[in-house]
Amino acid sequence: MRETVNILGVKIDNITVDEAGEITKNLIENSHKTCELIVAPNVEFIMRAQKDKEFFDILNSAQLATPDSIGIEIAAKRQKKPLKQRIPGQMYFRKVLEVGEKEGWTFYLLGGKGDTVKRTIQNVKKIYPNLKIVGSHEGFFEEDSEEEVIEQINQLQPNVLFVALGAPAQEKWIAKHKQKLKVDVAAGQGGTFDYEAGNIKRAPRCIQKMGIEWLWRLILQPTRIRRMAVLPAFLLRIIFTRDTTKGKWSN
């Protein structure tokens, strides 16, 4: 049985990145192109899920939920279930690429602006030269070309589909097309392609370790301030609520 933490009703796996790699491997080996959903909840996810029941249900239907961000770590500690490891999106991405290169998995990358996804592929291939990335598509397509994108993915039938359209769009997109998509696993990746392509610089290691990468990102992308406004509300709720496992949709 996997250890989990439940934060305001959202279930998250308490695992290390190596375990996340192993679980992904198991999912792929046992999936018959059944598009198993993988999510990476952070504080913005949890708060959004409090007012968006569809998103809440999608998150809780995931086969793997990796803990992203310091807020999740604080909430887990408050429940006396300290996280084994905080797993930023890019860390999970790299782990899956590393395992996938050894296992010979095929990958499809969907998302990002312009040539971001192409540059992501070029850069990760320098690190994992034997990686089989069989296809990609940028992330700003019209709804009427959605079917074309799905058709392309289904012709390739990759083991792993990474979707970076931002949350909650990427999770909703996967959930909406889950029945049709012929992939083993599909994972929401948020801004990971922006990091891999070099559009955004990741924080220096010491800032990452301190858990204030969100502040670094805010300085680089000040427009994120509105989205981040949920952080203090989340912390107050975690500090002052007796049972932090219960959320708006919990019984």
Residues between 150 and 179 that touch ligand UDP (CB under 6 A): 164-167
Residues between 76 and 95 that touch ligand UDP (CB under 6 A): 89
Q: Shortest distance, CB of residue 191 to ligand UDP, whole angstroms?
A: 3
Q: Does 114 bind ligand UDP (CB under 6 A)?
A: no
Distances (CA, A) of 95 to 17, 88, 100, 142, 149: 7, 11, 8, 31, 26
Q: Which of 16, 17, 12 minimizes the C-alpha distance to 42?
A: 12
Q: Does 190 bind ligand UDP (CB under 6 A)?
A: yes
Choose, by CB under 6 A, the member of 77, 102, 113, 180 that binds ligand UDP. 113
How does 214-240 read in b/e, with b if 16+ C-beta sit within 10 Å? bebbbeeeeeeeebeebbeebeebbee
Q: Shortest distance, CB of residue 168 to ligand UDP, whole angstroms?
A: 9
Inter-residue contact 28 to 159 (CB < 8 Å): yes
Choose, by CB under 6 A, the member of 111, 158, 168, 247 that binds ligand UDP. 111
Write out the two tokens for 144.
């009427």
Number of chain positions touching ligand UDP (CB under 6 A): 14
Q: Shortest distance, CB of residue 165 to ligand UDP, whole angstroms?
A: 4
Q: Which of 214, 144, 154, 202 minimizes the C-alpha distance to 178?
A: 154
Q: Does 100 bind ligand UDP (CB under 6 A)?
A: no
Choose, by CB under 6 A, the member of 112, 158, 168, 247 that binds ligand UDP. 112
Q: Shortest distance, CB of residue 86 to ligand UDP, whole angstroms?
A: 14
Q: Shortest distance, CB of residue 89 to ligand UDP, whole angstroms?
A: 6
Q: Does 71 bind ligand UDP (CB under 6 A)?
A: no
Distances (CA, A) of 86 to 24, 66, 125, 168: 17, 8, 25, 20
Q: Does 102 bind ligand UDP (CB under 6 A)?
A: no
Nearer to ligand UDP, 28 or 38 (CB): 38
Q: Does 67 bind ligand UDP (CB under 6 A)?
A: no
Q: Does 139 bind ligand UDP (CB under 6 A)?
A: yes
Q: Does 187 bind ligand UDP (CB under 6 A)?
A: no
Choose, by CB under 6 A, the member of 55, 173, 193, 234 that binds ligand UDP. 193
Q: Which long-range contacts (CB under 8 A, 24 or more apart) does 20-27 make?
A: 20/64, 20/66, 20/87, 20/92, 20/95, 21/95, 21/96, 21/98, 21/99, 23/64, 24/64, 24/95, 24/96, 24/99, 24/160, 24/185, 25/99, 25/103, 27/63, 27/64, 27/184, 27/185
Within 13 Å, how many C-alpha atoms sit on residue 113's CB side?
A: 7
Q: Shortest distance, CB of residue 190 to ligand UDP, whole angstroms?
A: 3
Which residues of this chain interact with ligand UDP, rule CB under 6 A? 89, 111-113, 139-140, 164-167, 190-191, 193-194
